[in-house]
Amino acid sequence: MQYDLVVIGSGPGGYVGAIRASQLGLKVAIVERAELGGICLNWGCIPTKSLLKSASVFEYIQHAEDYGIKIEGESKADFEAMVARSRGVADGMSKGVQFLLKKNKVDVINGFGKLKDNKTVEVKKEDGSVIEVAAKHILLATGARSRELPNLPQDGVKVIGYRKALTLEKKPESMIVVGSGAIGSEFAYFYNSIGTKVTLVEYLPNIVPLEDEEVSKQLARSFKKAKINVMVSSEVLSVDTSGDKVKALIKTKKGEETHEADVILSAVGIAPNIEGIGLEEVGVVVENGKIKVDAYYKTSVDGVYAIGDIVPGQALAHVASAEAITCVEKIAGHTPEPINYSNIPGCTYTSPEVASVGLSEKAAKEAGYELKVGKFPFSASGKASAAGHKDGFVKLIFDAKYGELLGAHLVGANVTEMIAELVVAKRLETTGPELIKSVHPHPTMSEAIMEAAAAAYDEVIHI
């Protein structure tokens, strides 16, 4: 079998790259050992959003009287049904990827793929047989898995990773979540919302530590209001799984404490899947645990490329997709613009949601900018008040000299749907005055963007 491009891995980087390459006239095959769509679609982004939607609906029902609706009888979260729904959503999306690949004439080869040389992929099939696939170009898109810490080994029963958290047989009465990045915070919100007693442990001084400090503090307040036990500047030293429950020894500012729970979820990051795929044999250079690539994702070996979680940059599904498109367009002879990694949005789907792009206030000051900062609270938003979601705010950071948007930090209901406006604005070097004069519809959550810009220039009306 001879192809122009063989892609190893069918996640949001791999399958998108394969389809785009086929659109550009290349003969393409994709190698996948598990479900089409990869971790994001099957065990990450999509099924978690399904669970979070179930949690949101349950919360609405619990607070129905706040909206003038009376519900007779007790409402109950059916955990098993929520999990079943999430698996159904993921399965449907995976079938959709299968359809798209077939529609775009991409051959799917099932099995574990590895580099034999820079023109050959060796595929080990489920029955143990091995085939070789020849290609002019090979794109590695093998993704990542849950990272394990020596002091927090996962046994899949009492200490689990995100994948097991999606498919627990029954709702735990109590859970300790270690790590408050997007994965940890989303699961903490979900399990707390359906009645699990949740403790969230973060090593750094703030939860969602990559976000602007004001956003982190707002989310922590919202979590505490929802009865999540938030522990920052805290570290799990060891775990004891010998009893009916799991015990965690946690070091805090006040000293060491022992906390007990039904299960511990380790959400301390991800580890790239770069083992056993032939990198060493072929001579692909790896630095600091990631594959070294140029601006168009070419590795140190001619004809071999890599994108997504296995290369430097943000480990996000939309980043992998953008990298894949850039990479294959370059392979096909086009001249795509390299990705600007300073303009990548990040989203956390808790309640309230978090979304951001660009520099935080602290980072902008450290970079030497003189700033104009504007903040508009959703408590002053008519739409947010009507919706019953007044927690949070929009915070915009501008360069005082030229007015250029440097960063945007949002926390509140549906802000993950609002951040794209600011990504486009930042790409176009939009200024604060231009945002102020861009008429936003009323009443909407999005008009808080216009109001935050006005606040930065002392023109705000509604606060």
What integer best gives the mean pLDDT of the chain? 96
Tokens of 264: 């511990």
> The domain 2-146+271-341 belongs to what CATH superfamily?
FAD/NAD(P)-binding domain (3.50.50.60)
Q: What tokens does 240 get?
A: 């004891």
Q: What is the pLDDT of residues 254-303, one digit of tens each?
A: 999 999 999 999 999 999 999 999 999 999 999 999 999 999 999 999 99
Give the pLDDT score at 40: 83
**Percent over 70 (pLDDT), the chain:** 100
pLDDT at 73: 85
**pLDDT number for residue 1:** 77
Task: Report whether 181 belongs to an annotated binding site.
Answer: yes
What CATH superfamily classification does 159-268 receive?
Answer: FAD/NAD(P)-binding domain (3.50.50.60)
Q: Residue 277 annotated as binding?
A: no
186 annotated to bind ligand: yes
Predicted confidence at residue 74, as pLDDT, reads: 85
C-alpha to C-alpha distance for 15 and 300, rounded to whole angstroms: 23
Please give the backbone phi and psi of residue 346, each rounded to the nearest 5 degrees, phi first: -120, 140
pLDDT digits (tens, 9 = 90+) for 169-184: 999 999 999 999 999 9
Question: Does the annotation list 383 as a binding residue?
Answer: no
Which pLDDT does position 293 carry in this prediction? 98
DSSP 151: T
What is the Cα–Cα distance from 11 to 42, expressed in whole angstroms? 9
Q: In b/e form, how buried is each residue of 220-238, taking b as 16+ CB within 10 angstroms? A: bebbeebebbbbbebbbee
Give a three-class secondary structure readout of 39-54.
HHHHHCHHHHHHHHHH
pTM: 0.95
Is 302 exposed, middle or buried, given 0-12, 13-18 or 19+ CB atoms closer than 10 A? exposed
- Average of per-residue pLDDT across 434-447: 97
Please state which CATH number belongs to domain 352-456.
Answer: 3.30.390.30
The predicted-structure confidence for 194-222, as pLDDT tens digits, reads as follows 999 999 999 999 999 999 999 999 999 99
Q: Matching CATH topology for 2-146+271-341 and 159-268?
A: yes
Any binding-site annotation on 180?
yes
Predicted pLDDT of residue 143: 96
E strand or H helix that includes residue 222 = helix 213-225
Q: Which residues contact 214 (CB under 8 A, 6 or more apart)?
A: 361, 375, 393, 395, 409
Q: State the CB neighbour count (10 A cutoff) for residue 148.
A: 15
The response to whether 202 counts as a known ligand-binding position is: yes
The answer to whether 182 is annotated as binding is: yes
pLDDT level of residue 440 (50, 70, 90 thresholds)? very high
Q: Are 434 and 419 in contact (CB under 8 A)?
A: no
Instruction: Locate the domains of the chain by residue range.
Output: 2-146+271-341, 159-268, 352-456
Q: What is the mean pLDDT of residues 355-382?
A: 98
Per-residue model confidence (pLDDT) at position 39: 85
Cα 37 versus chain centre, distance:
15
Residue 43 is predicted with a pLDDT of: 87
pLDDT category of residue 158 using cuts at 50, 70 and 90: very high
Per-residue pLDDT band for 321 (boundaries 50, 70, 90) equals: very high
- Active site residues per annotation: 442
